[in-house]
Amino acid sequence: MAITYLKQAQPRPAAENSDIRDTVAVMLANIERDGEDAVRRYAEKLDGWTGPIVVTDAQRRAACNRVSQQMKEDIQFAHANVRRFAEAQKATMGECEVEVIPGLIAGQKQIPVSSAGCYVPGGRYSHIASALMTITTAKVAGVPHITAVSPTRPGTGIPDAIVYAMDLCGADIVLNLGGVQGIAAMAQGLFGAQPADILVGPGNSYVAEAKRMLFGEVGIDMFAGPTDSLVIADHTADVETVAWDLVSQAEHGADSPVWLVTTDEALAKGVMARAQALIGKLPEPNLSAAHRAWHERAEVVLCVSREEAAQVADRYAPEHLQVQAEDLDWWLDRLTAYGSLFLGKETTVSFGDKTSGPNHVLPTSGAARYTGGLSVHKFTKTVTWQRCNSSASHELAQRTARISRMEGMEGHAIAAEMRLQPEPV
């Protein structure tokens, strides 16, 4: 491809994940051994939290009462959109039954997991929307028990708006816990929760590593890295709009890449000229995070055609993919690798992050090449069953026995041939 990089990301420093892995491994081992006592120690040491771990019903009501009516209505609006989209997804998940051969009936069932653990980030930002995305989707999937955790603020606990969102979405238990200790508490079923069958939700590198280490013992939504976003734009796009869309995603953190892929050199140079000025309009700590992300992680790629731009986007496989270009239907049909797609200048990733409905827990670091984001499917087991009569059993037994012996599995052959024997009178 004849692409030109007008701006390239700096080489990433050597990975320093070993320290994180070691720290998380020790914490998980201590919590496995000492249970709730270890969790309380980590909550005090890391978050300065010495209050109760379980948020009581009375505390939930008090937190909800402190949330303004306008904020409640905004959260309700977003919750309704997330719920409606999850319900539409669930409607696509069918059960089936088919007669494979005469006398052999096989089928498929959709069974929700028994319990889910939803992690809601709350470090630099209070991620109200993450509560909506995780808990609501689990609820629509039919998960009977949902535990939610979020980091505490010193002296106050989980921010009131997050508690309100958790309560609205239907969390059964809310725990004043963040970090590795929150993940481990949900996995083990501490503080009255049921052990989680699946752990979901974004978090920092320690949370992500804890989920990775626990995967297998429990399910997880995905292996998550820093959030990333890519904008495709042509000559019809607006410089200011494109620049703000990139800057707004860069404020997630210093490690969050943002990419512009364009067929218009004037647009590319205009965005590069405006980005730093727009970053300067952000408050701290957003400003520092966006500044580093733009200077160290951002890339601007100039392409000669829209097909070439699509090829570049598919290669990046971004978490968020935004198209501000002509002929949006062409892009919808052509693009193949993204977590979520945002079409048109009237649509922004910020909508998807907060209120529009499709889930914002999405694959990062190129994982969109092979997986999608969080959905009701992640909370649901697609299982199969089969039943056959004696006629079908006779043919199955003969063919199964021959294949089994060819494979060297005599026990399988004998078990099959048992079905050839007449039933006792």
Active-site residues, by number, are 319-320
The CA-atom distances, in angstroms, between 216 and each of 9, 29, 211, 361, 373 are 35, 16, 10, 20, 19
Strands (E), 56-156: 96-101, 104-112, 115-119, 145-149
d(CA 359, CA 118): 14
The residue among 96, 110, 118 whose CA lies nearest residue 173 is 118
Separation of alpha carbons 79 and 131, rounded Å: 9
Chain centroid to CA 9 = 25
Q: Could you identify the residue written with the tokens 């002296």?
A: 155
Residue 250 near residue 258, CB atoms below 8 Å: yes
Q: Using an 8 Å Cβ cutoff, are 258 and 297 in contact?
A: yes
* Rounded-to-integer distance, Cα 184 and Cα 33, Å: 12
